[in-house]
Amino acid sequence: MAAGESYPDDLRYNTEHDWARIDGDEATLGITWFAQDSLGELVHFEPPGDGDEIGKGGSYGEVESVKAVSDLISPLSGTVLEVNPKVVAEPETVNEDPYGEGWLVRIRLGDSSEADDLLDAAAYKTFVDEQ
Amino acid sequence: MQTLLRTPLYERHVALGARMVPFAGWEMPVQYEGVIPEHRAVRADCGVFDVSHMGRFEFEGPKVPAALQELLSNDIDKVGEGGAQYTLLTNERGGIIDDLIVYRVESGRFILIVNASNREADFDWILEHAGAGTDLRDKTEEFALLAVQGPSSLERLGLDDGTPFTWEMGEVAGIEVMVNRTGYTGEQGVELMVMTEDAVALWDAVVERGAKPCGLGARDTLRLEVCYPLHGNDIGPDTDAISAGLGWVCALDTEFTGVEELRRIKADGPEQKLAAFVMQDAGIPRQGMAIAEGGEVTSGSHSPMLDRGIGMGYVPAELAEPGTTLTIDLRGRPRKAEVVKKPIYKKET
C-alpha cells in the first residue's frame, strides 16, 4: 500500500527531495513522499557503507524503481552510523512509509549549523507544488 | 517542438490516472497503478495494453508474396490465409531494419504490424524495394490495437482457444475485431485490431471484463523476462539475426535481402551472441552498462517474478553458455551475473 501525500513538520528538506530528522548530533535521512511517488515502487536501495563520510549535497547512495534510478543527495554532512536493513531487504517499505519504517540511513552530524540552510515543511511543500 | 500523436484511447488513459510519456512520436501510458502490479496481473490473470502506436500496413497485389519472400527473413510460403508469422525485415548486411508480424489475409493480401519507432523507415524501405506493381498503404490511424494478455484472457473475452500465430475475425462485446493469436508477454492472449471508432467501446468492454490496464513499463518487463528482443535495444540495423538468436526466423534456404551474410555468419559461427543473464549480486542492470568480460547490456531491468535484476547483452560467443559468470559495471560497481538459458522466466507447469 502506497502512503498518502504528506510532509511532516518535524523534518527538514532539500530541493532534491531528501529529508532529515535531526536529533541532537545525529540525523536520520530518507526520501520524501514526492520522490517515491515520482519514482514508483522501489526495487533496489544501494546503500553507503557503515562509517562512510557523506558530504552535504553529495550522493550517498541510489534508489531504483523498475524504470528509473535516482541518486540520494544528502541534506547534511556526516558519518554513516547505520543503514536501514529493512529497506535493503524490502525497498518498497519506502513507498509504504517514507518517513517512518522507510528511513534510509542514520548519520552522526559533521556540522550541525548546516541544518539552517534546509527548507522547513511549508517551504518544501511550496517548492513541490511548483514542480 | 514536436507534436505527439495520441491513440483513440488517450482520454481513457488520462482518466485512469496513467503516467503519460513520449514514445516513438506518440503520447503513451507507461503505467497506471504501477509496473509491478500490472506485470503480475498479466502473469496471473489478464491485462490489457493499448498498442495502437504500432504501425499497421496493408500490402496487396499479385506480386506481394514474391516481394515478401525477398524482403523478409522467414518463409512466407509457410503462411496460409488466416496465418501469421514473426519475421525480420533485413538489410544487405543481414542487419535487422525491424522485427514484425505478417498476417496473411488473402493469397495476395497481407497486414504487417511493425514497431512504432520504425514505421516510416519500414514503409520507405518496402516502397523503395517492392513498391512497383504493388499497393502498400499505411493504415495505422484507421485502426486501434489492444493486446489482451494473460492466462485468463480468452475466458474473460469469451473467446475460444486458438492456435498461436493464427488470426480470425471475431466479436468481443458485439464489436467486430480481428483476433490475432499473438503477443509480446510470453502469456496466452490475443491482439485485437479494431476500427478506430470502436476502440473506446472495446477498451471499456475489456476493462469491464476484468482486464487490468497495463502500460509500456510492464510490457517491457514482461517481454524481457521471456527474452523477446526489443528493436532498438537488443536488435537493430547493425546486429544480425544469427548473433541475436533469431536464426529460427530466418529461412536460409530462401533468397532474401542479406541472406548470404547470414549464411556466412551461421557457417563461421557468430563472434558475439545475445545472452540472457540474472544478477547474482544486488543491483539492476541497465541498457548501455559495460560487461567486463566483453560486450554491453542491451536491455536490463528488475524482474517482478524473480525479484532481482535481469538483462540481455551481446557477449563473446564462448561466454554465452548458461552458467557463465559475467561482471556488469553498475555505475562503477562490479556486480556478478550468471548467464541463463532463455527464457529467463518460465512458467511452472
Q: What is the pLDDT of residues B100-128, one digit of tens each?
A: 999 999 999 999 999 999 999 999 999 99
- Tell me the pLDDT tens digit for each residue of B188-217: 999 999 999 999 999 999 999 999 999 999
Q: Contacts of residue A40 in chain B, CB cutoff 8 Å?
A: 31, 34-35
CB-based contact A66 B282, cutoff 8 Å: no
Partner residue opposite B283 with nearest CB, options A41, A44, A67: A44
Contact B11, B151 (CB under 8 A): no
Nearest CA in chain A to B35: A66
Q: How many CB atoms neighbour CB B323 within 10 A?
A: 8
| Chain B residue at shortest CA distance from A43 | B302
For residue B234, what are the CA distances in angstroms to A112, B34, B98, B103, B231? 50, 25, 11, 24, 6
pLDDT at B2 over 70: no
- What confidence category does residue B349 fall into, taking pLDDT thresholds of 50, 70 and 90? low
Mean pLDDT estimate for chain A: 96
Contact A64 B301 (CB under 8 A): no
Q: Does A40 touch chain B (CB under 8 A)?
A: yes
| Chain B contacts to A (CB-CB under 8 A) | 30-31, 34-36, 217, 221, 282-284, 286, 301-302, 304, 307, 309, 331, 333
Contact B35/A67, CB-based, under 8 Å? Answer: yes
Decide if A84 touches B, using CB distance below 8 A: no
Cα B213 to Cα B17: distance, rounded to the nearest angstrom:
11
Cα B241 → chain centroid = 15
Measured in angstroms, the CA of B84 and the nearest CA of chain A are apart by: 32
Q: For residue B221, which residues of chain A lie inside 8 Å, CB to CB?
A: 66
Rounded Cα–Cα distance for residues B140 and B257 (Å): 26
What per-residue confidence (pLDDT) applies to B347? 84
Chain B residues with CB under 8 Å of A62 CB are 331
pLDDT tens-digit readout, A55-107: 999 999 999 999 899 999 999 999 999 999 999 999 999 999 999 999 999 99
Beta-strand ranges (E) seen in chain A are 12-13, 18-23, 26-31, 42-46, 53-54, 59-65, 69-73, 78-83, 105-109
- What value does the mean pLDDT take over residues B32-61? 98
A41 neighbourhood in chain B, CB within 8 Å: 34-36
Closest residue in A to B222 (Cα–Cα): A66
Interface test with B, best of A38, A43, A62 (most B CBs within 10 A): A43
Please report the number of interchain residue pairs, chain A to chain B, with beta-carbon separation below 8 angstroms.
38
Task: Output the pLDDT for position A2.
Answer: 75
Domain map of chain B by residue range? 10-53+141-224, 271-344
For chain A, list the domains and their CATH numbers: 12-129 (2.40.50.100)
Q: Which pLDDT value is given to residue A124? A: 98
Residues on chain B touching A64 (C-beta within 8 angstroms): 284, 302
Per CB-CB distance under 8 Å, the chain A contacts of B283 are: 44, 46
Q: Which three cell numbers stand for residue A61?
A: 547512495
What pLDDT digit, counting tens, does each position of B144-172 carry?
A: 999 999 999 999 999 999 999 999 999 99
pLDDT in tens, B282-335: 999 999 999 999 999 999 999 999 999 999 999 999 999 999 999 999 999 999
A40:B31 CB<8 A: yes
Closest CA of chain A from B325, distance in Å: 21
CATH level 3 topology of B10-53+141-224: Gyrase A; domain 2 (3.30.1360)
Local structure of B114: helix, strand or coil: strand
Determine the residue of chain B that is closest to A39 in CA distance.
B34
The pLDDT, as a whole number, for residue B348 is: 76
A1 has pLDDT over 70: no
pLDDT of residue A25: 95
Closest alpha carbon within chain B to A95: B34
The pLDDT score that the predictor gives to residue B259 is 98
CATH code reported for the domain at B271-344? 2.40.30.110
CB-nearest to A66 from B35, B282, B283 is B35
Chain B residue closest in CA terms to A71: B331
Instruction: Provide the pLDDT for residue B147.
Output: 98
Q: Which of B175, B214, B203, B198 is nearest to B45 (CA)?
A: B214
Residue A65 and residue B35: Cβ atoms within 8 Å?
yes
DSSP conformational letter for A22: E
Name which of A67, A92, A95 to mutate to probe chain B: the one with the most chain B Cβ atoms within 10 A of its Cβ: A67
Please state whether B342 falls in left (phi above 0), alpha (psi between -120 and 50) or beta.
beta
Chain B contact for A1 (CB, 8 A cutoff): no
Pairwise CB contact (< 8 Å): A46 & B283: yes
- pTM for the model stands at 0.95
| Measured distance CA(B323)–CA(B331) in Å, rounded | 24
